[in-house]
Amino acid sequence: MIIDARCRPMYDEFLKQVENPTGVTARMGMDIPPSVRARSETLMLKEMEDAGISMGIAPGRNGHFRYNVSNNCVVDMVRHFKGKFIGIAGINPSNREQAIRDIDTYVVNGPLKGVNIEPGSMSTPWYANDRRIYPIYEKCSEHKIPVMLMIGGRAGPDTTYSDPKIITNIARDFPDVNFYVSHGGWPWAQVLLGACFWQTNIFLGPDMYLLTGVGTADYVAAAKGFMQDRFLFGSAYPLMPFKPCVDKFMELFGDSDVLDKILYKNAARLFNIDLTSSAD
């Protein structure tokens, strides 16, 4: 079984992501997936099946400078795919009162499994440890809601928005919240992993940045060691194709005795996914 812990499907508002290609697929030495070229849900599901991916975790996006995916759309998407995708609520930290209401509506009293915050990608970028966001983290702490933070890659106008001290501050101040760092803190891999060594409420998924070769050996060593219970597989589809990402992951981890943990068990535990009733 494989859970893809960071992907967005070919569905409704999620299609906005493929309208403005970034060129990152080619820079990773990959081809744009046929399902993305065709904007085809049917092809996407076939590509997932061919890659052995049983389930995807899809975050909404709210407050982004370029495009957003509403939480209503995320809820509809979860229902539409009938267990093939888990939804994460997109939260706009610049509208704190609405953010708190959205957490209540879509997570505490709704079907979504966590919140996704991308403060460095707002029209006016914030760092994720900006004190104006702290009431949102407090809300998540109160209800034991996992928080997905984009800290790594193009998380803001420059690489300071991925500085590991950001997650170090937040994880220290909210020890009861499990923070999932998507994009793996790249390119600050070693320093970010150092923070993870000491702060055990930080979960990590380098997703497509595992393919760069920069920091790859460090991610792999940590995942096979002290991060084995907090490291997650992710593809970053539609930017990356499913099967080549899985193939590379298996090349790196296929002989590891922690493979099941990092392929699906850690994601299921982090996002409270009932594997007994999930898609095969």
CATH number of the domain enclosing 47? 3.20.20.140
Q: Which helix (H) or strand (E) holds 263?
A: none
In 91-175 the beta strands, taken as DSSP E runs, fall at 115-117, 147-150
Alpha helices (H) along 174-215: 189-198
State the residue range of the domain holding 157: 3-277
Within 8 A by CB and 6+ apart from 23, the residues are none
**Would the CA dihedral through 23, 25, 28, 30 be positive or negative?**
negative
Number of domains in the chain: 1
Q: Which helix (H) or strand (E) holds 232?
A: none
pLDDT tens over the chain, length 280 residues:
999 999 999 999 999 887 665 688 888 888 899 999 999 999 999 999 999 999 999 999 998 888 899 999 999 999 999 999 999 999 999 999 999 999 999 999 999 999 999 999 999 999 999 999 999 999 999 999 999 999 999 899 999 999 999 999 999 999 999 999 999 999 999 999 999 999 999 999 999 999 998 999 999 999 999 999 999 999 999 999 999 999 999 999 988 899 999 999 999 999 999 887 654 4
The CA distance from 196 to 145, in Å, is: 19
Tokens encoding 36 = 């993305």
pTM of the model: 0.95
Q: CA–CA distance from 212 to each of 24, 32, 54, 103, 233 (Å)?
A: 11, 16, 25, 34, 15
Longest dimension (CA), the chain: 48
